[in-house]
Amino acid sequence: MKPTNNLLLSCMCVVLTAGFASICVAAGPIEVEGLLIERFGVSEEPSIRGLVARKAAMLARARDSMAARSKKHKGKDPKVVVVDCDKGKSLQDAIDSNADPVVIEVHGLCFENVVIRRRDGLTIRGTDPEFDGIRGVVADPQPFGALEVRFSDDMLIQNLSMNDSPFAGLNTVKSLVTVENCHFIGNVVGGIEISQSSYFRGFGLTISENGTDDPYSRGDGLRVRHKSAGFFTGCIFENNKRWAAVSSFGSVVSLIQSEVNGPRGILAMLDAYVDFDCYSNRRYPEHPDCSLFVDDWAVKSELHSEAWLYVSGPFTGALWADDGSTLGLCGAQQQSVEGIRPNRIFDDSLLKVLSFAEVTEEGEYIVHEGILNGFTFMEGFSRALLLGDSWLDGMLECADAADAFAQSSVQYTGGSGFCNCEHAQQPDSCPYPEPDPGE
């Protein structure tokens, strides 16, 4: 079926390339005030306030930084230093004793807290994250991660585990870091924490079972804060205590061709952006699967933020948007699961459900349908837009000046419809009571 112009315009795709990753983002009216990555030269001029421009600027800056590193160290063979932690050697001593560019090879498990400051061109790598890695230890004062990276550029970490630490596995501050094939499992506070204008690229990471019942444990697999950016390709987020990934305080996070399982999915808060993207790099050979199946909130966008599921196919979990935020399903299909709480969109927020159209190499049009499932409660001047060939599979109720609009091409399952919404079709009755707001 050939898609309509409205369908194509409602979910345009812009593909950007930086290193290994291609980013495909939904174009259109995506304007999140304060979403600026100062470290990577994103101007505050209105001409580049769109999300696509911001992502493009960040990726270009990272690519230029990587190219500058290669030029800076051209002709310099990095020194290779071996640290055998199983024989009592110290990774921290090796870092402090060797100038960049240097490659430090880790053998075994290093039981120590490692801090890296003001480095440029440092590589730390193991052979296998099952056997090589860092285990943070209790200290006074306690570092923020088993491995802390501060004010450093062009750092590469490969084939290591940062597990079972009393704080986070990895913490970065004002740094540019690439991490490949590493594990972050069983850390008390969280798996990875990225903050203060850091830029982070992760490939093939396992981030699981982080967090405890302790009230001081945030328990998120990934937390990106303070105008930082993180792009994660082919990663597994599994059974973290709370959220798989959190973007906050003007940050940008994209989970690309990744898997999310556990209590909760993705959260954007305080002028931030997050997406779960199964379109970009979907031929990523090392990790072909892409799925989001959670038991509680799948996507939450709050306090002037934006969150999208992008061509993610079937997913489970509820939706939440508040305080002037946007939540979008583009080619994402919400599934019915017993016990899942209702969707809630309130306080001047926007819900968009739309399909995604693409053209294959053979010239065939394919439409990835968007589906809103179950009961959705709208209130407080919020809006719902159902566009293109999307589906409504359930009831959407409006209250307190909320409203909804559905294009004529939208499809409905039996018994589905809108209740008390001025600009959408009405059923004969409104069978659902107002839900408990929940957490």
Burial class (CB in 10 A: 0-12, 13-18, 19+), 429: exposed
pLDDT at 10 over 60: no
Q: Tell me the sheet residues that pair with 271.
A: none
At 238-253, the pLDDT tens digits run 999 999 999 999 898 9
d(C-alpha 276, C-alpha 256), whole Å:
6
Kindly report the average pLDDT of the chain as a whole number: 82
* Total length of the chain: 439
Minimal CA–CA distance to 261: which of 240, 232, 233? 240
pLDDT at 5 over 80: no
Domain boundaries, the chain: 5-72, 76-199+207-231
pLDDT at 222 over 60: yes
SS3 259: strand
Q: What are phi and psi of 39, to 5 degrees?
A: -60, -30
In this prediction, residue 56 has a pLDDT band, given cuts at 50, 70 and 90, of low
Q: Which two tokens stand for residue 92?
A: 């921290």
Q: Could you give the percent of the chain with pLDDT greater than 90?
A: 59
pLDDT at 151: 93
At 331-364, the pLDDT tens digits run 999 998 877 889 999 999 999 999 888 777 788 8
At 277-299, the pLDDT tens digits run 888 765 445 556 899 999 999 99
SS3 303: coil
Minimal CA–CA distance to 274: which of 219, 322, 232, 217? 232
CATH placement of domain 76-199+207-231: 2.160.20.10
Q: Is 272 in contact with 305 (CB distance < 8 Å)?
A: yes
pLDDT at 72: 65
